[in-house]
Structure 1
């Protein structure tokens, strides 16, 4: 009896329907143990496959309706429609699904059966049908199949058990179908994720290698630059130290010069004091000379009066004759003495005149010396101020140099830390290179 005759027989009289179904040839021949596990989970048996095969003609006659309902659900999603049109066509997919459904009700679970399920899953995965969309569309397909079964067979009380047996078998088959397809979806997803992971891993490895190599190169360049910079800083620090030492020497010499200048100022003040005292002494000498001159004038007057008196005495002695001879001798001696006194006074007067002339010259020279000393004091005072400013400037310069040296020392320390950090970066980058290369 053909399958179409069997369906007709079921509709007209089902008394011997199960006997006829039991005669259908079905086969379970698959090596994958997981397929057997799935069948056991849904309790799919050879008897269920015989029932399923018995309604294959029904599926063939309604396959267009069933397939259209499946893809109508999918095509309602604009994104899926665009993906289908991009990768394939609706007609092609419908023809593939028609053959898939007819084979599904062949009643044979073999390697080809499993391979066809996996193939359908890969096609739908490729065009971008997500599992949730596929399950929704498959659910609609399952409902459409049940409606066809219910519509084609009368649901009298004497057929309810048989119809239930048919729908149960179909439900088990669809459940197995979904398990195989969803597992294939999952495998494709895992494979795709692994591929993407490997691609991403390769890209990340390449990027990390590039970055780490760049870090190594940068660290090496930085280290070289830091070494040069550190050398320059050490040189500048050494120059600063030498400059500071020179400043200390210059400050010491300036202080020594200022001390010597102070000593010279003290001596100039002493010279000024001695000169003033000498000037005063000369003035006193001039006063004494004036007094001596006055005394000499008096003595000179006395000598002239004595000479006149001696002359008068001589006249009187001449008048006295013999009696005045002795007095005449005395008068003559007095006259000589007066003449000698007068001559001596003349010489003294000349000496005093010469002494007064020399005194005036000495006084004039002392005035010039005093003026020169005052000018020297003023110049020395100005020089002392300049020395003081110079010492202060040298001290400030020395402080600045020391400050610069300290800053350069600190900067050198920071540069050495940068150099150390650069070496660590280079080492870390090389370690990263090695880790990525072996990843």
Structure 2
């Protein structure tokens, strides 16, 4: 690469592709290069101290670069093709020969020493192409470092004085640095643009999802709220029913107590009836005994009447024998006979009545015994019923207490459901606010 900066005594023209030591010497005054409408870029060029003199030096170096351009590009791509990933990118999107041709033109344009709008636009386009083919910035920087190494090696192979070599290295380094700044900035802007595009896509998708979710949440909250309101209404109705049931249970408990008291009174009455029937049985038994005694008396009187009748008959016979003297005694005998007959008939009548009275007494005794049996059975049933009513009263009391507990639990449940309803309504409001906020993103 001895032709990058050549010395010639036969050609002293500034446009020639050779330079001498006097032309490479530093000038007394340095003017920075500026570009209209690119204040930030001008600041960058001032920061790396890129001057008009540097650009002029590049133009002086251009002929030597053109002579060595094939060697430069070959060295550059020999290194690049040593990386399998870079080779794959090149073969997928272009060819080696085409890229070498493009690189030659690109390097020669650098040494035109003319940084203008076209120069900047081409660098930005390079960044877009690299981004499109998937070349990462690290590989671009590595390749550019390789290109810089090629230039510096070539410079140090030239027969230049140290200050001349240093100036050339500084100038080329400044241009390559500016090149990297332009491309990397374009890389960054393209990344930002893609990220913003992706962010916008994600944002719109997120907005849509959130809007759908918020709508579903609002609908669900409304349905839940309606269900809660219906549940509250049903719970209030159940509570009212429980209150009525509790009141009915209390009323039933009171009536059961009253029935228990009535049964106790009935048991007392049945007991008194039972005692009364016992007294009646004793009285009827005594009456039966009296009837039997009367029957005995009737029998005795009947026997006396029969004997009296026999005596009267004997007296009549004796009176007939006595004749006229026994006539009065005969009248008396007849009267005694008639009296005996009447007595006999009366006694027979009394006997019949006494017999009937005994039969009726026996029948009354039987009926009284039946009443006693029924009264005793009723008394037992009354006792059993009283015990049953006691159990009913106890069960009603326990049921009433349980109903009261359930009523309190239902009140707590209603309060809880109302709290859930309030929370659901608040959730619906939050979802509506959330959807509104999402729409404003």
What TM-score, normalized to structure 1? 0.76
Partner of 1:30: 35
> 2:201 pairs with 192, 199, 220, which one?
199
Change over 3 Å in CA distance of 1:38–1:365 after alignment to 2:
same
Offset, 1:276:
1.6
CA contact 2:6–2:19 (8 Å) conserved in 1 = no
Please give the alpha-carbon distance, in whole angstroms, between the structure 2 residues aligned to 1:94 and 1:252: 113
Change over 3 Å in CA distance of 1:85–1:403 after alignment to 2:
farther
Offset, 1:366:
0.6
Offset, 1:105:
1.4
Partner of 2:425: 423
Check if 1:19 corresponds to 2:19: no
Offset, 1:113:
2.3
Partner of 2:51: 45
Give the aligned length.
421
> 1:54 pairs with 48, 60, 64, which one?
60
Change over 3 Å in CA distance of 1:366–1:5 after alignment to 2:
closer
Partner of 1:321: none
Please give the alpha-carbon distance, in whole angstroms, between the structure 2 residues aligned to 1:241 and 1:71: 96
CA contact 2:4–2:155 (8 Å) conserved in 1 = no
Change over 3 Å in CA distance of 1:196–1:90 after alignment to 2:
farther
Partner of 1:322: none
Partner of 1:320: none
Partner of 2:360: 358
Change over 3 Å in CA distance of 1:160–1:363 after alignment to 2:
same
Please give the alpha-carbon distance, in whole angstroms, between the structure 2 residues aligned to 1:84 and 1:279: 137
Please give the secondary structure, in 1, of the residue aligned with 2:50.
Answer: coil
> 2:249 pairs with 244, 247, 250, which one?
247
Partner of 2:143: 137
Please give the secondary structure, in 2, of the residue aligned with 1:7.
Answer: coil
Partner of 2:321: none
CA contact 2:34–2:42 (8 Å) conserved in 1 = no
Change over 3 Å in CA distance of 1:80–1:407 after alignment to 2:
farther
Cα-to-partner distance string for 1:238-257 (whole Å, 9 max, x where unaligned): 33333333333333333333
CA contact 2:218–2:431 (8 Å) conserved in 1 = yes
Cα-to-partner distance string for 1:374-394 (whole Å, 9 max, x where unaligned): 232344344445544544554
Partner of 1:328: none
Partner of 1:123: 129
Check if 1:108 corresponds to 2:117: no
CA contact 2:225–2:424 (8 Å) conserved in 1 = yes
Cα-to-partner distance string for 1:336-356 (whole Å, 9 max, x where unaligned): 999999999877766654543
Check if 1:98 corresponds to 2:104: yes
Structure 1 range deviating more: 288-297 or 102-111: 288-297
Partner of 1:433: 435
CA contact 1:22–1:50 (8 Å) conserved in 2 = no
Structure 1 range deviating more: 225-234 or 395-404: 395-404
Structure 2 residue runs of 5 or longer lacking an equivalent are 13-17, 313-335
What TM-score, normalized to structure 2? 0.76
Please give the alpha-carbon distance, in whole angstroms, between the structure 2 residues aligned to 1:76 and 1:268: 126
Change over 3 Å in CA distance of 1:76–1:189 after alignment to 2:
farther
Change over 3 Å in CA distance of 1:10–1:420 after alignment to 2:
farther
Structure 1 residue runs of 5 or longer lacking an equivalent are 311-333
CA contact 1:28–1:46 (8 Å) conserved in 2 = yes
Please give the alpha-carbon distance, in whole angstroms, between the structure 1 residues aligned to 2:416 and 2:263: 47
Query: What CA RMSD, in Å, does the superposition of the two structures yield over aligned residues?
Result: 4.5
Please give the alpha-carbon distance, in whole angstroms, between the structure 2 residues aligned to 1:219 and 1:400: 35
Please give the secondary structure, in 1, of the residue aligned with 2:115.
Answer: strand
Partner of 2:234: 232
Change over 3 Å in CA distance of 1:8–1:384 after alignment to 2:
same
Check if 1:223 corresponds to 2:222: no
Partner of 1:165: 167
Please give the alpha-carbon distance, in whole angstroms, between the structure 1 residues aligned to 2:439 and 2:378: 88
